Amino acid sequence: MPVEFALALSIAVAMGVHQMLQRSLMNVLFGIIILSNAVNLLILGMSGSPTHQHAPILENAEALTQSVAPLPQALILTAIVISFAATAYFVTLLYRVRLDQHTLDLKELSPQKDSES
């Protein structure tokens, strides 16, 4: 993995973690989105440096030995679809919480206690 790529990745992860540690659920949502994209980039990085490599397309057999690994790209596609579905759910959920409770601040959204019924 090239150094610039690794740096970009770690900045993205740091941003995601920072957002997730905020008190508002909206920030948590953004944190999750950034983190999931950072993870997708990490998988992309695992296919190796693309310098002097071909795209993995089956045209002639010799080129294949010098192409980047195609599998991570297939993995990313799946991961993007999945995180899209989960993010869509989370956005809808937050909208509903906001409608019900008029706030997204975690301090004001108190969970149910054992003694209530």
Partner 1 sequence: MMIALVVFPFLTALALVLMQGTWRRVAVMASCLAQCGVAFSLFQLVHTEGTQALALGSWGAWSGIVLVADSLTAGMAVVTSLVALACCMPYRSSWVEHPLRLPLMQILIAGAYFAYITGDLFNLFVAFEILVISSFALLTLDLDNRQISSAPPYVTLNFLASLLFLTGCGLCYGFFGTLNFALLSQVTPQHPLESSILLTILLFAFLLKAGVFPLFYWMPNAYPNLPAPVVALFAGLLTKIGVYASMRVLGTALPMPAEVFYHVLFWVGAVSAIFGGLAAFSAKRISFILTYHIISQIGLMIMALGAQSAMAWAGCILLLWHNMIVKPALFIAGDEARQIYGTDDVRSMGGLIKLAPLIAMVFFLQAMSLAGIPPLSGFWGKLVLFMQGAELGHLALIFATILGGFLTLMSMLKIWIAVFWGEPTTSTTQGQFKTTPASVTFLVIALLMGLGAYYFSQSAVDAAESVKDFLSYYQAVIELPVKGARL
Sign, CA torsion 88/92/98/104: negative
Q: How many residues bind partner 1 (CB under 8 A)?
A: 39
Residues 14-53, mask of contacts with partner 1 (x by CB under 8 A) = ------x----x--x---x--xx--x--xx-xx-------
In angstroms, rounded to a whole number, what is the distance separating the alpha carbons of residues 46 and 51?
A: 14
Under 8 Å between Cβ of 69 and 56: yes
Other Cβ atoms less than 10 A from the Cβ of 55: the count is 11
Give the interface with partner 1 as residue ranges (CB under 8 A): 1, 20, 25, 28, 32, 35-36, 39, 42-43, 45-46, 56, 64, 69-72, 75, 78-79, 82, 85-86, 89-90, 93-94, 96-97, 100-101, 106, 109, 111-112, 114-115, 117
